[in-house]
């Protein structure tokens, strides 16, 4: 049974989430402030964390950053936020959450995201699924080379020349999808479906935000991801 930690101070919301997670066959734990959320995340090793941004004491951003940067925890995190302007921050470099849900959210939407994030993280890192990509691609032992960029699918590592680039799970999956389909234009809708695994209608901005951070992290190699206006992205 997969275990979900809910870090949320509003009891009516956490109870609603717990009820629905249990209905869907998940085990749950609740923390009602940032400090105990952090402690539970480290001691209980949940499979997924639902993390509210506005919390008493340590807020959700601090908790997320501390889990990733100080404790190097890879557990998927879905952030709950009331402000859509926080989305860029949440998905970005600084915090490294895997997804977000804006309040007020529909339970159906939240459950869809929980399932999608867990499904994706389950299939990692042994996700050997082959894309209908360029057959001439240089691949050996699950290595993908694009210019100075090397992706090691098995180790979930990306290097530019010899520099190791730290990517979030979604950034890695996005880059991988583009790289194995090298030369083809991938639409935002396709990328959302492929990387996020569900219909994200009206939220193609998520792809743009991730591409922006990927380019930043890849540094000099940023030009390898081409924007095809009005369509999507491709790697040459």
CA angle in degrees (0–180, nearest 5) for 117-120-121: 85
CB 60 to Ca ion: min, Å: 8
Q: Does 52 bind Ca ion (CB under 5 A)?
A: yes
Shortest Å, Cβ 59 to Ca ion: 9
Binders of Ca ion in range 3-22 (CB under 5 A): 9
Q: Shortest approach of Ca ion to residue 153 CB, angstroms? A: 38
- In the complex, the smallest distance separating the C-beta of residue 6 from Ca ion, rounded to whole angstroms, is 11
Residue whose CB is less far from Ca ion, 61 or 172:
61
Measuring CA to CA, which residue among 22, 25, 6, 26 is closest to residue 14? Answer: 6
The distance of closest approach from Cβ of residue 81 to Ca ion in the complex, given in angstroms and rounded to an integer, is 10
Count the site residues for Ca ion by CB under 5 A. 3
- Considering the complex, state which of residue 54 and residue 112 has its C-beta at the smaller distance from Ca ion: 54
Residue closer to Ca ion by CB (options 8, 99) is 8
Indicate the residue among 82 and 231 with the shorter CB distance to Ca ion: 82
Tokens, residue 200: 């994200």
Q: Which of 16, 29, 54, 124 is close enough to bind Ca ion by CB under 5 A?
A: 54
Burial of 10 (0-12, 13-18, 19+ CB in 10 A): middle
Q: How far apart are CA 180 and CA 190, in angstroms?
A: 14
Which H or E run includes 9?
Answer: none
Pairwise CA distance, residues 97 & 65, whole Å:
9
Tell me the residue number closest to Ca ion, measured at CB. 54
Residues 6+ apart with CB under 8 A from 85: none
Residues at the site binding Ca ion, with contacts judged by CB under 5 A: 9, 52, 54
């Amino acid at each position: 049974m997969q275990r979900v930690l809910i870090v949320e101070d509003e009891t009516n919301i956490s109870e609603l989430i717990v009820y629905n997670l249990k209905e869907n066959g998940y085990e749950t734990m609740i923390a009602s402030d940032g400090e105990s959320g952090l402690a539970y995340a480290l001691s209980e090793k949940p499979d997924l964390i639902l993390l509210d941004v506005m919390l008493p004491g340590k807020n959700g951003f601090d908790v997320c950053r501390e889990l990733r940067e100080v404790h190097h925890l890879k557990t998927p995190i879905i952030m709950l936020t009331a402000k859509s302007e926080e989305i860029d921050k949440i998905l970005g470099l600084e915090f490294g959450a895997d997804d977000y849900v804006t309040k007020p959210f529909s339970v159906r939407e939240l459950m869809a995201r929980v399932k999608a994030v867990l499904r994706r993280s389950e299939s990692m890192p042994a996700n050997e699924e082959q894309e209908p990509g360029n057959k001439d691609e240089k691949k050996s032992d699950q290595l993908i080379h694009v210019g100075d960029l090397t992706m090691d699918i098995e180790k979930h590592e990306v290097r530019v020349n010899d520099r190791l680039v730290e990517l979030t799970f979604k950034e890695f999956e996005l880059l991988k999808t583009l790289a194995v389909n090298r030369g083809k234009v991938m639409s935002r809708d396709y990328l959302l479906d492929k990387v996020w695994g569900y219909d994200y209608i009206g939220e193609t901005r998520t792809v743009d935000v991730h591409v922006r951070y990927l380019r930043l992290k890849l540094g000099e190699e940023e030009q390898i991801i081409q924007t095809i206006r009005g369509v999507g992205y491709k790697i040459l």
